[in-house]
């Protein structure tokens, strides 16, 4: 696994191979690209479950079923796809925005780029610049050191477009191997885990349940949704079970992952009853954690951290390279002493007067206003 922060593509020149871009619209055209899409991702520098075709298809069905979808496909001279950029077109008050099909449930976003990522991004950008009507391009939750981020922004700026960034996430990533991830945590944290494991064991039989999609997947997902709903998310109405779109999305993501052997639902159980659950994925040697929940009535016993310890041990036994917590930095994640991977919202504005005004309002005046309000407080 590439070390955090290292970006071999940041200064890589685009290869001078003949390319062209095919511009497609609508779900039917997107759906027809599935096999080609996943083949490109598998060959490229951002081979992530969130970039695969089935993840995006589930997202579009759940969150943008009526959205105007554009897909740009960069192809080499022989017609083979080398990169694909999915974008949703939004129009408001005469402003055309092209936005990433992503939200807080997407985990992270990248264009689907193959082995020649510089050539693909250069071709996609040239088409966007010259052949597509838009005022603002918005890509959210891009890894700052990822290929889309490091290749696209320099091209846009070189062509006179103004750009801006907002940090969206500092995602913790735990490198595995060596003397063991748990051994690298603080002595106090390890002592707390041992003490809470002992106290939990005094309440009954503790076990770890595993579901990879070959057993009762519906039952395992139902237990996850019910446990999450029983806590503060249920009280606030933000639990997955409260929104049919979220249920459909996560059920589909889990089933797709199970079909390709990537699902890893793990539960810590007390007398057979799940008290902490991971909805996890394993892809290319990395364990990803899109969702986790625990029984808040047992919060003093840290069932979530005890499950995390079991999962870390399993990942290391399997020889995985990293555990990617996904999402924002949080105190319970920091207990494991992970590294952090920054993600940004990347904005690209047309080099017009209107574009420069929008850039100034968004990236200069708005931060200044926040700073002034902070002084007053």
Q: What is the mean pLDDT of the chain?
A: 92
Q: pLDDT tens for residues 219-272? A: 999 999 999 999 999 999 999 999 999 999 999 999 999 999 999 999 999 999
What is the percent of the chain with per-residue pLDDT over 90, rounded to a whole number?
Answer: 86
pTM: 0.90
pLDDT of residue 12: 44
Nearest CA-CA partner of 121 in 146, 101, 139, 148: 148
Give me the architecture of the 177-320 domain, per CATH: 3-Layer(aba) Sandwich (3.40)
pLDDT of residue 13: 44
Q: pLDDT tens for residues 70-81? A: 999 999 999 999
DSSP per position, 131-189: H---SEEEEEEEETTSHHHHHHHHHHHHTT-EEEEEEEEEEEEEE--TT-TGGGS-HHH
Instruction: With beta carbons less than 8 A apart as the criterion, state whether 40 and 84 touch.
Output: yes
pLDDT of residue 365: 60
Q: What is the mean pLDDT of residues 145-150?
A: 98
Q: pLDDT tens for residues 17-40? A: 568 999 999 999 999 999 999 999
pLDDT of residue 178: 87
pLDDT of residue 83: 98
* Topology match between the domains 19-171+342-376 and 177-320: yes
pLDDT of residue 367: 55
Instruction: With beta carbons less than 8 A apart as the criterion, state whether 265 and 210 touch.
Output: yes
Judged by phi (left if over 0) then psi (alpha if -120 to 50, else beta), residue 327 lies in: left
What is the percent of the chain with per-residue pLDDT over 70, rounded to a whole number?
Answer: 92
Distances 15 to 18, 121, 122, 353 between C-alpha atoms, Å: 9, 11, 9, 33
pLDDT of residue 366: 62
| Residues sharing a CB contact under 8 Å with residue 268, sequence separation 6 or more, in sequence order | 206, 207, 208, 209, 274, 275, 276, 277, 303, 306, 307, 310
Q: Which CATH class is domain 19-171+342-376?
A: alpha beta
Nearest CA-CA partner of 87 in 151, 32, 35, 23: 23
pLDDT of residue 225: 98
Comparison of pLDDT for 1 and 156, the residue scoring more: 156
Entry field: residues in the chain: 377
Q: Show me where the domains of the chain are located.
A: 19-171+342-376, 177-320
pLDDT of residue 5: 45
Q: pLDDT tens for residues 304-361? A: 999 999 999 999 999 999 999 999 999 999 999 999 999 999 999 999 877 777 777 7
Q: In the predicted model, is pLDDT for residue 376 greater than 80?
A: no
């Amino acid at each position: 696994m590439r070390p955090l922060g290292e970006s071999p593509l940041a200064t890589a020149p685009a290869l001078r191979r003949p390319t062209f871009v095919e511009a497609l619209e609508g779900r039917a055209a997107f759906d027809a690209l599935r096999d080609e899409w996943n083949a490109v991702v598998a060959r490229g520098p951002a081979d992530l479950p969130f970039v695969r075709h089935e993840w995006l298809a589930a997202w579009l069905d759940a969150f943008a079923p009526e959205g105007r979808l554009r897909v740009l496909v960069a192809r080499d001279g022989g017609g083979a796809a080398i990169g694909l950029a999915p974008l949703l077109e939004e129009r408001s008050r005469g402003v055309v925005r092209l936005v990433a099909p992503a939200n807080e449930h997407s985990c992270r976003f990248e264009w689907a780029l193959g082995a020649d990522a510089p050539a693909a991004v250069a071709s996609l950008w040239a088409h966007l610049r010259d052949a597509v009507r838009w005022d603002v391009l918005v890509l959210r939750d891009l890894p700052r050191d990822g290929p889309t981020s490091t290749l696209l922004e320099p091209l846009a700026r070189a062509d006179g477009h103004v750009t801006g960034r907002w940090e969206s996430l500092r995602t913790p990533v735990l490198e595995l191997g060596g003397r063991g991830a748990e051994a690298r945590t603080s002595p106090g944290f390890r002592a707390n885990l041992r003490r809470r494991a002992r106290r939990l064991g005094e309440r009954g039989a503790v076990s770890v349940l595993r579901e990879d999609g070959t057993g009762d997947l519906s039952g395992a997902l139902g237990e996850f949704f019910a446990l999450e709903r029983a806590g503060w998310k249920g009280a606030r109405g933000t639990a997955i079970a409260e929104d049919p779109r979220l249920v459909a999305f996560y059920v589909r993501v889990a089933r797709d992952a199970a079909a390709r052997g990537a699902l890893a639902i793990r539960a810590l159980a007390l007398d057979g009853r799940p008290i902490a659950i991971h909805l996890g994925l394993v892809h290319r040697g990395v364990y990803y954690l899109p969702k986790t929940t625990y029984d808040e009535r047992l919060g003093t016993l840290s069932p979530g951290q005890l499950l995390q310890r079991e999962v870390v041990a399993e990942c290391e036994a399997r020889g995985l390279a990293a555990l990617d917590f996904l999402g924002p930095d949080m105190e319970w994640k920091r207990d494991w002493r992970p590294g952090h991977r920054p993600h940004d919202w990347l904005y690209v504005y047309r080099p017009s007067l209107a574009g420069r005004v929008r850039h100034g309002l968004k990236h200069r005046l708005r931060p200044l206003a926040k700073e002034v309000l902070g002084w007053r407080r």
